[in-house]
Amino acid sequence: MRFLEKIFQDISAQTLPSACIVCERHQQDVICGDCLKSLGSNCLLNYECCFQCGIALRTSELHTQKCESCTNNPPYFDKTYCLDRYEGSLQNALHQLKYQKRLAYAHGLANAWNQLFAIQLKDIDASHLLPVPLSTEKLLTRGFNQSWEIARKIDCGLGIRKTPFLLKRHHHKTQQVGGKISARRLAIRNVFYLDPCFIESLDGQSIIIFDDVMTTGATLNEIARLLKDNGASHVINWVLLRTARAPYV
Ligand SMILES: [Zn+2]
Ligand SMILES: [Zn+2]
């Protein structure tokens, strides 16, 4: 009996948070009131961001509400909504989910999203919400897709179908780390494909893509290109954490 109890406790410790996902203080809620308040006051939502790619705007870009990169080289996606910066207070919680495989952190992250962001997004109309997929190989290694684990718990309109298997990803040995935007766009080309059974359902529809982290936007741009090539009319990104843009060089 003791042995079974120990197993249960070990599993619980790995899967259920008994502390706030941000400050890690022991308490009942998955994110405590203080951390939620602080996140609400400091997160990216409070800043003027490019409507197309979600990056915080420079003063010179405020009049168009669009960053220089989207003006000069427009991406395929139409809009991007980001909760916070990658460097902000949710980064550790996301790492706990992705790298320590603590699935309950997905619940905490979705909870933060729902409390701070869901009302703002509730009127967005779309037919599908798709998580950015992992390749089958990566899925087997990690055991779950972190974007889907968060996306499945976030609040969205009743007419939006959350569909985890519509969009699929080939396995590539090289990981995307750093590099110029143009090089990353080239590297990501043709990495994604669609389940043929669902392609007809995309025709003329708005599609939401959910990603845990947006860096250069190359991945989301390639997904938007694929969806629009297959009939989607609009592609909207919902992103948990957005990295800051590279400084001027
Ligand atoms: Zn806290
Ligand atoms: Zn932009």
Span 117-155, pLDDT tens digits: 998 999 999 999 999 999 999 999 999 999 999 999 999
Tens digit of each residue's pLDDT (9 = 90 or more) over 50-74: 999 999 999 999 999 999 999 999 9
Q: How confident is the model at residue 249 (pLDDT cuts 50, 70, 90)?
A: very low
Q: Pinpoint the alpha helices (H) of 43-103.
A: 68-72, 91-99
- Say how many Å lie between the CA of residue 246 and the centre of ligand 1: 30
Give the span between the Cα atoms of 194 and 196, in whole angstroms.
Answer: 6
pTM across the whole model: 0.88
Whose CA is closest to 176, among 145, 236, 134? 134
Ligand (nearest to CA of 75): 2
Q: Pinpoint the alpha helices (H) of 74-212.
A: 91-99, 104-116, 118-121, 136-142, 146-151, 181-188
Whose CA is closest to 79, among 41, 52, 55, 100? 52
Whose CA is closest to 109, among 6, 203, 213, 2? 213
Whose CA is closest to 67, among 231, 233, 200, 217? 217
Mean pLDDT of the chain: 89
- Say how many Å lie between the CA of residue 31 and the centre of ligand 2: 30
- The pLDDT assigned to 29 comes to 86
Ligand (nearest to CA of 33): 1
- Say how many Å lie between the CA of residue 104 and the centre of ligand 1: 15
Ligand (nearest to CA of 61): 2
Q: Output phi, psi for 111, to 5 deg.
A: -65, -45
